[in-house]
Amino acid sequence: MIRLKLSNKSANEGVVLDLPATPAEVSEAFSWFERIGVDPSAVRIAGVNSPVPTLGQYILRADIHDPEQMKKLNELAEAIERMDNREWDIFAGALDAESINGLDDVLKISKRLGDYIILPNVKTDTELGRILVDTGYKNFPENVQPYLDYRAIGAEYYAENGGAYGPGGYVRRKSSLEQGQERRNALITLHLATKQAECRLVLPAEEEELNQAKERLGIEHFTQATITRVEFGKPYMDDLIPKDCICVEDANELALGIEEFWQRDGEMLKFLAVLSVEQPETISDALRFAINLDDYERITEGTYEYGQSVLRRIGADDELIDTIDGYMDFEKFGEDSMVEDGVRQTEFGLIRRCSHPFPEETQAMQMGGM
C-alpha cells in the first residue's frame, strides 16, 4: 500500500519497492543498484506513492538502511492497507494538521485516526463557514444567511479549532470533551433533529455537552427538537424502558443512575427486576423507580432462609432462631411470607417492594414462576 521509488543522485534510473516488503525483497532492490554500479549505501527514497496523498513528504527522509526504520515503514504500510477511503482522507488531513517530526509521529497518528473529525469536501474557509451555518452549528436566522461572510465564519472556526484542509476535506482533532464523550460507556444514545440540523447525544452527559448539543441544533430547549431514535447501551433496557415521550433531562438523569448501578454489585439486576414488575410507561417513570431503588429488595435466598430473615426483620435474634430451629417449618413460613410480602419472580431474580407490597391483582401471575 506504499510504493517507494529508490534512487540516488548519480543514478538516472531507480527501482520501485512495494511495502510491506520482506527482507529478501529489500535486498533484491539494493542488488539492482549494485548491478548498475551504484553503491547501495547511497540509495535514498526519491518518491512515494500511496492512497494517502500527503504521506510522501513526511516519510521521504526515512532511512531505508536502518532495520528499525524499515520495520516501521512496513508497519505503516500494513496500517494503510487496513484503512478505508474515509480513513485515508482523515490520515492525510491529520498529517497536515499536526507537527510531524519523523516516522514515529506518522505511525502514532495512523493508530489514532479516531481522534479526528473530517468534514468531507470542505477545502476552504468559505466552504467551512457555509457548512457550519447549514448544519446549524452556527445559528443564524434564515433571512440573514444570504448576506453572511462565510469566509470569515470559517476562518474564525479554523483559528479556534486548528486542523487542516486536506485532500478529502477539513480535518481537525476532536476536543477533549468530544473524545471523553465517545470513550464513555454510552448507556443511552439519543438522535435529535430540528429542521436545520441533526445531533447525536450520548448519555450520561455533562452540562457543557448538553449545551453544545443545543447549540448545534440551534435551540434553547430540548423540547424544540425531535428525538428520531433512541438506543440503549446495556442488555434488556431496550425492552424494559419506554422510548416514547422521552425528556432529554430525565434520560440523562436515568443514565447517570444506571452508570452508578453498574458499579455496585447486584444493583443493576435489582433495577431490571423492578422495571420488569413495575412496567414504566415513560422514561420519567423509569427514573422515578431508579431514584427510589432503595425501596426495593432483591432476594437471593430460598424460602427457608427467607423465613429466617423475616423473623429477624420483626426482631428475632440469631439465638432465638437457633432455639426454635427444628420446631418450626422455616421453609413453609418463608413461602407464606413471600406471598404476604408480594415477592415477585422475574428473570432477574426475586424482588419485593419494602414500603408496600406489589398490587395483589397481578401477584398470582408473578408468583407462578416461583
- Choose among 184, 185, 129, 180: nearest CA to 157: 129
CATH number at residue 147: 1.10.10
Long-range (24+ apart) CB contacts under 8 A made by 216-223 are 216/135, 216/136, 216/137, 217/136, 217/192, 217/193, 218/136, 218/139, 218/194, 219/194, 222/192, 222/247, 222/248, 222/249
Give, for all 370 residues of the chain, the pLDDT tens digit: 899 998 887 656 788 999 999 989 988 988 888 888 888 888 889 889 999 999 999 999 999 999 999 999 999 999 999 888 889 999 999 999 999 998 999 999 998 888 898 998 999 999 999 988 887 778 788 888 888 999 999 999 999 999 999 999 999 988 766 665 555 567 899 999 888 788 888 899 888 889 888 888 889 999 999 999 899 988 888 899 998 889 999 999 999 999 889 888 889 999 999 999 999 999 999 999 999 999 998 888 777 787 777 788 888 887 787 778 777 887 888 778 778 888 888 888 888 898 988 876 444 444 444 3
Q: How many domains does the chain have?
A: 4
Structural domain of residue 310, as residue ranges?
A: 294-367
Distance of CA 8 to the CA centre of its chain: 48
- The residue among 262, 291, 320 that closes a domain is 291
Confirm whether 87 is domain-assigned: no
Residue 49 lies in a domain: yes
The structure's pTM equals 0.52
Contact 264, 319 (CB under 8 A): no
Evaluate whether residue 230 is within a structural domain: yes
Find the angle CA(108)-CA(106)-CA(157) to the nearest 5 degrees: 85
Same domain, 195 and 284: yes
319 and 279 in a single domain? The answer is no
Q: Is residue 90 part of a domain?
A: no
Same domain, 124 and 200: no
Domain boundary among 151, 175, 199: 175
Asked if residue 345 is part of any domain, the answer here is yes
